[in-house]
Amino acid sequence: MARGGARVSSVDVAALARTRARWPEAVADAAARRTRRPLLGGRGRLMIVAADHPARGSLGVGPEPFAMANRGDLLERLCLALSRPGVDGVLASADVLDDLLLLGALDGKVVMGSMNRGGLAGAAFEMDDRFTGYRPEDLARLGFDAGKLLLRVDHADPGSLTTLHSAARVVDAMAERRLPVFVEPFLTRREGPGPPRNDLSAEAVTRSIAIASGLGGTSAYTWLKVPVTDNPDDMARVMATSTLPAVLLGGDIGGDQDATYEKWRGALQLPTVQGLVVGRALLYPPDGDVAGAVDTAVGLL
């Protein structure tokens, strides 16, 4: 899993469990001691590793349906990724970030809390992305640096209006606390009995960006977290939809890592794109080389 001699000690899951059982205050203490940094460092770019998928019941990577289910293995991969030069921080739900705090892996890193994980993968209510994770007051209390919300809009689902309303109020609450919020918008639809599918056409991504940019009473603290479109050549006109700063999101990259990196490389040249937020593609690369995948992604910046 490591490259160039880089090694990370195996995570002691038993020790984490003992600490949680006997000293639950250790999480808040570790958060209070954490060394903080600006959201954007001196290079003005952002490289964030994402690990908030398990909280939505989304554990699969490629052909492995439970690849992210082993928490010790996930934490080891995260610690390795965070140790690589150029990695700015991590996006995760409270359980994962609490583990990383106890491991001392978040000093000097950007910590981004995942806020709505209620749209469980495969559930009949998957499009009801309720805010079951971090609240704005939690992020402020813990001294974290930003929050992230998922905004999937299905024009055929009246419940999407509830999601939009909830997201707008969270944008307001984050702005009141001067905390950046990263909005990840999609136009989504169900086709038959299968799971909802995100539309990555240029037209759909353009509309989703326009909708997300207008949420709340101010956009001063709003960032966008956007996918690369089906046709990467469309990204310039898609990203012209908003002046909000944006990061590109990753996902499963399949077997063709080089093609995915090239898609990211081109989109990263656009004026509003400030960096990458990538999870499974870096933590579970097809060749198993986590350090190599992370280093390559950092090199794109």
Strand positions, DSSP E, the chain: 46-51, 89-92, 110-114, 146-153, 181-189, 197-198, 222-226, 246-249, 273-278
The verdict on residue 6 lying in a domain is no
CATH number at residue 233: 3.20.20.70
The answer to the question of residue 218 being in a domain is yes
Supply 268's token pair: 């990263």
Q: Which pTM value belongs to this model?
A: 0.93
Q: Is residue 110 part of a domain?
A: yes
Tell me whether residue 2 is in a domain. no
Distance CA 88, CA 103 (A): 17
Q: Which residues of the chain have pLDDT under 70?
A: 1-9, 251-256
Domain interval for residue 180: 13-300
The DSSP call for residue 296 is: H
pLDDT at 6: 43
Average pLDDT value over all residues in the chain? 92
pLDDT tens track for 47-90: 999 999 999 988 888 888 998 999 999 999 999 999 999 999 99
Provide the 8-state DSSP code for 133. S
pLDDT digits (tens, 9 = 90+) for 207-243: 999 999 999 999 999 999 999 998 989 999 999 999 9
Which residue, 274, 287, 298, is CA-closest to 38? 274
* Count of structural domains within the chain: 1
Answer whether residue 1 is part of any domain. no
- Kindly state whether residue 62 falls inside one of the protein's structural domains: yes
- What is the pLDDT at residue 125? 86
Domain membership flag for residue 7: no
Cβ atoms of residues 152 and 121 within 8 Å: no
Residue 4 lies in a domain: no
